[in-house]
Amino acid sequence: MQPMTGTGFWDLESFAETSGKLLASRAETYQMVASSKSAKASMIVLGVLTLVAAWIGFQLGTHRHTGILRTLTQAGHFLSEALASSNVQQRSASAPAGPQHSVNLSWKASPSAVVGYNVYRRGTAGVVKLNSEPVTSTSYVDRTVQEGQTYFYVTKAVNARGTESTASNEIRADIPSP
């Protein structure tokens, strides 16, 4: 933008042309900033995941894996439960009503002082912890079984510190097909 000769005013043509470029430049800058923010967010997420993977690798490599394995197992159980519950909801919405199967489990109380028991099921989806909090009684009903499947169950006593005992004997349950 050049001022007009002999006056204190700006050349309007030059001003309009320069302003248009400036506005276009600002729009491009905004787009660049917006896309760089999403790229930065992606990089941060990727960085965090990389650090977590490195930390897990270090823990496993230095034999400090007991807590890591427990955390990974719990995360796996959570994901399995979420997937199983979404599958059950989808199937129940689309499948015709049939017999609802369940497995009734019972066991002898532990001679040690315990706050409850955790119940685990092994099937095609792997091992899944069925309860979110320790079961305080010596029985449990699994109502999430699928027809035509075979499941294996174990229980583990839980003490006041949250430590689990070794697994009980495994039992097998065959769910009939209709």
pLDDT of residue 169: 94
Please state the separation of Cα 127 from the chain's center in Å: 16
pLDDT per position as a tens digit, 22-63: 444 444 444 545 456 666 777 777 777 777 666 666 666 655
Q: At what angle are helices 65-94 and 12-61 packed, to 10 degrees?
A: 110
CB atoms within 10 A of CB 140: 19
Contact assessment for residue 129 and residue 77, using Cβ atoms and an 8 Å cutoff: yes
Find the radius of gyration of the CA atoms of the chain: 31
pLDDT of residue 100: 86
The pTM for the full model equals 0.47
pLDDT per position as a tens digit, 70-88: 565 665 656 566 666 555 5
Alpha helices by DSSP H, listed for the chain, are: 12-61, 65-94
H/E run at residue 174? strand 171-174
Q: Judge whether residue 165 has pLDDT over 90.
A: yes
Mean pLDDT of 82-96: 54
pLDDT of residue 108: 94
What's the mean per-residue pLDDT of the chain?
A: 73
Identity of the residue numbered 39? A
Mean pLDDT of 139-156: 95
CB atoms within 10 A of CB 33: 9
Q: Judge whether residue 146 has pLDDT over 80.
A: yes
Contact assessment for residue 117 and residue 155, using Cβ atoms and an 8 Å cutoff: yes
H/E run at residue 77? helix 65-94
As a whole-number percent, the residues of the chain with pLDDT over 70 amount to 51
Q: Judge whether residue 15 has pLDDT over 60.
A: no
Mean pLDDT of 108-115: 93
Mention the CATH class of domain 65-174.
Answer: mainly beta
User: What does the domain layout of the chain look like in residue ranges?
Assistant: 65-174
Mean pLDDT of 98-119: 91
Mean pLDDT of 109-138: 95
Q: For residue 76, give Cα distances in angstroms to 73, 125, 130.
A: 5, 10, 12
